[in-house]
């Protein structure tokens, strides 16, 4: 257990995480109640997503790509900086997916991103989770991550109709734009 904590404590930020056993771990937090609350919400959000048809489809798609995956052991919330929505912190083998708190809840960051891209909050949440799980699936650079989720969303659009098709076409378009501007988006 000590090794897991020291891996996370090397990051100079406050955070809280929730593991598979629902154990809450607090790391260097100056806002423990906010971090714990956001960590619990993130764990619930990710659990619900992974058990949904959308989440299962994404994981099957990423598994089929055959890259070296990071074992995501915990989900949580941390102070990731002002313009970050979520991130994967890892050592190359194991890691955590964090939403960004840093004074503003994840849901507010999702709403801001949704407005920026003309998406619903629900579609934006799916986008952010797909992006982070693509990183965990072995896509290291932002450009390759955006490209793989663009391809995934295009495949989902091709197999859908109506509003679902439109949602996935919009998500693919966002990923394409972010891929083209990867260096500007993430620096």
pLDDT in tens, 55-102: 999 999 999 998 888 899 999 999 988 889 999 988 888 899 999 988
Question: Which residues are CB-neighbours of 61 under 8 A, at least 6 positions away?
Answer: 152, 155
Residue 37 domain boundaries: 2-185
Give, in order, the Cα–Cα distances in Å from 29 to each of 26, 78, 84, 101, 138. Answer: 7, 8, 18, 11, 29
pTM score: 0.89
Which pLDDT score is estimated for 6?
A: 42
At 184, the pLDDT band (50, 70, 90 cuts) reads low
Q: Kind of pairing, strands 71-78 and 94-100?
A: parallel
Question: Which residues are CB-neighbours of 4 under 8 A, at least 6 positions away?
Answer: 25, 73, 94
Which pLDDT score is estimated for 155?
A: 97
Least confident span in 11-25, 50-64, 71-85, 107-121:
11-25
pLDDT in tens, 120-155: 999 999 999 999 999 999 998 999 999 999 999 999
Total structural domains within the chain: 1
Give, in order, the Cα–Cα distances in Å from 114 to each of 123, 124, 162, 181. Answer: 8, 6, 20, 18
Which pLDDT score is estimated for 14?
A: 86
138 exposure class (CB count in 10 Å sphere: 0-12, 13-18, 19+):
middle
Work out the percent of the chain whose per-residue pLDDT is above 90.
Answer: 70
Q: Under a CB-based contact definition with an 8 Å cutoff, are residues 39 and 76 in contact?
A: yes
Structure tokens at 168: 């996935």
């Amino acid at each position: 257990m000590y090794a897991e904590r020291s891996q996370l404590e090397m990051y100079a930020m406050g955070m809280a995480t929730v593991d598979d056993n629902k154990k809450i771990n607090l790391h260097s937090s100056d806002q423990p109640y906010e971090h714990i609350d956001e960590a619990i919400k993130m764990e619930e959000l990710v659990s619900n997503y992974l058990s949904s048809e959308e989440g299962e489809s994404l994981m099957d798609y990423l598994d089929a790509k055959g890259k070296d995956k990071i074992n995501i052991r915990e989900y949580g919330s941390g102070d990731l900086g002002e313009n970050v929505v979520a991130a994967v912190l890892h050592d190359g083998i194991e890691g955590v997916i964090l939403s960004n708190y840093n004074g503003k809840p994840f849901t507010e960051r999702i709403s801001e991103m949704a407005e920026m891209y003309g998406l619903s909050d629900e579609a934006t949440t799916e986008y952010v989770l797909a992006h982070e799980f693509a990183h965990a699936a072995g896509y290291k650079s932002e450009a390759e991550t955006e490209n793989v989720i663009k391809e995934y969303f295009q495949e989902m659009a091709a197999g859908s109709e109506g509003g679902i098709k439109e949602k996935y076409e919009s998500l693919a378009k966002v990923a394409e734009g972010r891929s083209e501007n990867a260096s500007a988006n993430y620096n």
